[in-house]
Chain A
Amino acid sequence: MSDIAASGRARGLLILFFAGLVLFLYLPIGILALFSFNDGDVSFPLQGFTTHWYGDALTNPTLLGSLERSLLVATVSSVIAVALGILAAFALVRRRFVMKSAVSALVFSPLVVPYLVFGISLLVLFTALDKFLTDTMGVYIGLGLHSVVIGHVVVSLPYAILTIMPLLERLSLSLDEAARDLGAGPWETFRRVTLPLLLPAIVSSFLIAFTLSFDEYAIASFLAGTQPTWPVYLFAQLRVPSLLPQLVAVSSIVLIASVLLVGAAEVGRRVAERRYAGSLPETG
């Protein structure tokens, strides 16, 4: 079969191309990681091995504060996005209603709106709202983490729905019916049958939303106000060359943490799929 797609020589070229692209993708990241262990600034030649940038970073209160804020924003926004995503996915998969295609276009449209445009739209709206509230009631809300959460939920929602829908489509309705026949109410059926079966997709969608939010700069830069999240802080500090090795060190830690997290989720997903293997129909 494989020889229909490519001759021996073409295959060799494709392997070479693949290896070249992997090198192209990983070399810059690797070089940057190298500098987090360099006992000097971020330029050649290398000065010697050190881990003190890691120590410095982990005792830098402003840096840690921004990481904390990003963890908070990512957690809250992905919990909301996944909850809304489950609701929308159920409606889109299991329900028939008028204007379904319009609803589906609306929920997926944040995928194709540039974050810059969306970020400033929320900025303009929130600023106008604040102006109005100050003038009429003397209330001032201001920008901050809450506005970043609101924006991140909007952009994560389509990804959450897209991750949950395929599994929901594979999930047999007869399981629900069986539970209902055995006397379970709709909520109990959802909580004890559907939700556990959906868990792998829910975990994936949470992780996707979490990583998206944790790394999001454009929207956060307009909406964070005086509470910079990690990417906003990172961008502001990029102008300070002496801080660069610390920033790279933190990013290396974040990278390793996210790889571990995704790996753990993947293992969990496999275990869960094996456990429920009997309840899912074969996929073609």
Chain B
Amino acid sequence: MSTVDARADAVRVGRRSDRRATVGLLSAPLVWLLLFFVVPVGFVAAYSVGAVRIFPTDGSVSLADWQRFLTGGSIYLDLFWKSVLMSLAVSVVVVLLAYPVGYFLALCVRKRKYVLLLVIIAPFLTSFLLRVLAWKVILGDQGVVNTLLFWLNLRAPDDPVPWLLYSRFTVMLVLAYVWVPFVALPIFVSLDNLDRSLLEAASDLGSSRWRTFVRVTLPLSVPGIMAAFVFVFVPTIGEFVTPQLVGGTEGYMYGNAINDLFTEGLDWQSGSVLALFLLLVVAGLMVLFGRWIQVRNVAG
């Protein structure tokens, strides 16, 4: 065997063992995700069209549930659009709140900017349920706001402001409160990675600060804004806990409908249709906006 052949053989063996090592590394995580993530989602898809049956009451193979849902034969599609609007509004508000903070920390603070960033992010470490509950305490009939109004003689104690709690407004306020800390990070990262010499160049060329912001800084931070937007929109559109705690009937969202179909109405098949539809919409959004989003900026 010539040396060239021997070397080619060695490379081939190396490649083979290389491939085996890759398979070894990937098999455990991929098997876990396939069994407990891909399969369940696929199973729900099959269940939603009646291809699998679990309960005796389940319908057989048909697209009837889907058709009824998509053609507006049920209340759920309207509810979906209402929730989309609420989530969109929340996402916009959250980005508007977080952007100035990210801008300030990334570009105007020199010392201790990471400490200050941590101050903004830290509330995210506290219990989600408790942060929602806090607003119930603040906005309730005997809560902070109504007590304050009473003390200031602006409102009688037996006549609290009713729309503070259990309204669409409350759900949106609380959701914004919950997600601001999470979103400050991707916006900060995109602004912090900005090449500052571009700002200096703009200023040297006579651009005003405002113009530099609109023409240079803002466009360059679009990926951060997009990531922030999607990472608020996705969890809020699937939200059911916050509306349940502070939403009342007016703040009822699409997620509540899914949850109720599974826990109270026990119509799992319709619930699966609703859940899968939500998943398809989110997947569609990711396909549309995916190229803008640096997944890394989220866990920074």
Contacts and interface: CB of A to CB of B under 8 A. Distances in A.
A118 B123 CA distance: 25
A189 interface: no
- Could you say which of A5, A6, A247 has the most chain B C-beta atoms within 10 Å of its C-beta? A5
Interface string B42-62: 011001000010100000000
Please classify the interface of chain A as helix (H, G, I), strand (E, B), loop, or mixed, using the class held by over half of its residues. Answer: helix
A10 B127 contact: no
A283 to B, nearest CB: 13
Interface of B: 18-19, 21-22, 25-26, 28-30, 32-33, 36-41, 43-44, 47, 52, 54, 97, 100-101, 103-105, 107-110, 116, 119-120, 122-123, 125-131, 133-135, 137-138, 140, 142-144, 147, 177, 180-181, 196, 199-200, 203, 209, 212, 217, 230-231, 234-235, 237-241, 245, 255, 258-259, 262, 268, 271-272, 275-276, 278-279, 282-283, 286, 295-296, 298-299
Interface stretch (A38-46, A49-57, A272-280): A38-46
Interface residues of A, number: 87
A45 B44 contact: no
A107 B29 contact: yes
B14 to A, nearest CB: 13
Nearest to B245: A238
Contacts, number: 245
B29 A150 contact: no
A197 interface: no
Please classify the interface of chain B as helix (H, G, I), strand (E, B), loop, or mixed, using the class held by over half of its residues. Answer: helix
A25 B262 contact: no
Contacts of A17: 100-101, 104
A206 interface: no
A112 interface: yes
B278 A154 contact: no
A117 interface: yes
23 contacts: A4-B199, A4-B209, A5-B209, A6-B104, A6-B108, A10-B209, A17-B100, A22-B119, A28-B134, A107-B29, A110-B37, A114-B278, A114-B279, A116-B258, A120-B258, A124-B44, A208-B299, A234-B129, A235-B241, A251-B130, A254-B127, A255-B125, A258-B125
Contact of A114 (B107, B129, B238, B272): B238
Interface string A63-104: 000000000000000000001110110110001010000010
